Amino acid sequence: MNATHVSFFTLSAYLDTGQFRYLLFLVVLALYAVILAANLLLIVVICVNRSLHEPMYMFLCSLFVNELYGSTALFPFLLLQILSDIHTVSAPACFLQIYCVYTYGSVEFCNLAVMSYDRYLAICCPLQYSSSMSWRKVAVLVALSWLYPLVVIVAMVTLSARLPLCGNVIDKVFCGNYSIVKLACSDTRVNNIYGLLVTALTVGVPVISILFTYVRILQVCFSGSRQTRQKAVSTCTPHLASLLNFSFGSCFQILQGRFDMSSLPDGLSIFLSLYFLICPPLFNPVMYGLRMSKISAICRALFCVK
């Protein structure tokens, strides 16, 4: 098949919901509103209250900002597509969404890695924590967790945008990089190799660093006092829950792009493909808001009237 200039892509995974589209629109809109409200609330709470101006809460604030960024890359687009009869997206908008979605995922893993390093210093080196985790170091770690993925993903999207394509149908409800690569008429070895490199750099390296820090934390917990174990459990449980929740959605997204998942029901396949963009932004504010005693106390003070 001859390569052609593609000005738009068709998203073929949308189901025909008929009149239920308006109900689905309201459900998705309500979900987006809850995600915005929950993450914005905790960002404001952390920024306004001086008692929360500690490294751990600054990293949490960065995490919540990324949740807003990722959900905004999906939900407005998804709402428009639900109401549309023709599920198409222009090529520039498609590549922009790819960039936003992939940077969201990469920043999420980097943020979780930085947070695990912070917990490692607090639990394993408590006496040196204040000097080791200075405000300058906090700013550098937050900046790196954002700039590193933003730069790495640019090259990946640029390589995909330059491919000659033999089709414009994407079997998803949003734009994915590997879905574009599969439409290419030319050799895609460079794209595949760089894609694996990006996965290793933005997923593999953070996950390995997280595993290393938690091995060290476990060693200290088993050899330390009961108070040390209680502190580790109280501060690490939300982080581990966030990591497992996001890793599950990301793993399915990676597997879905590379293996045939046609045996799954269409509705379940769509939900699982959106899991990493919907559930972590909804789950993390609730988890940290309930499990972090300082945050939960301030939130209760805001909403409870004596």
pLDDT tens digit string along 72-85? 999 999 999 998 88
pLDDT at 36 over 60: yes
Please indicate whether residue 50 or residue 290 has the higher confidence score (pLDDT).
Answer: 50
CB neighbours of residue 95 within 10 Å: 19
Does 1 reside within a domain? no
Task: Tell me what pLDDT residue 306 has.
Answer: 44
Model pLDDT for residues 265-286, shown as the tens digit of each residue:
777 888 888 888 899 999 998 8
Looking at this protein, which amino acid is placed at residue 127? L
Number of domains in the chain: 1
Does 17 reside within a domain? yes
Does 65 reside within a domain? yes
Task: Tell me what pLDDT residue 142 has.
Answer: 94
CATH of the domain at 282: 1.20.1070.10
Average pLDDT over residues 218-236: 74
Length of the chain counted residue by residue: 306
Model pLDDT for residues 205-216, shown as the tens digit of each residue:
999 999 899 888
Question: Percentage of residues in the chain with pLDDT exceeding 70?
Answer: 94
What is the domain range of residue 69? Answer: 8-303
Does 225 reside within a domain? yes
pLDDT at 263 over 70: yes
Give 253's pLDDT tier (boundaries 50, 70, 90): confident
Q: How confident is the prediction for the chain on average, in pLDDT? A: 86
Does 2 reside within a domain? no
8-45 in b/e burial notation, b at 16+ Cβ within 10 A?
A: ebebeebeeeeeebeeebeebeebbeebbebbebbbeb
pLDDT at 3 over 60: no
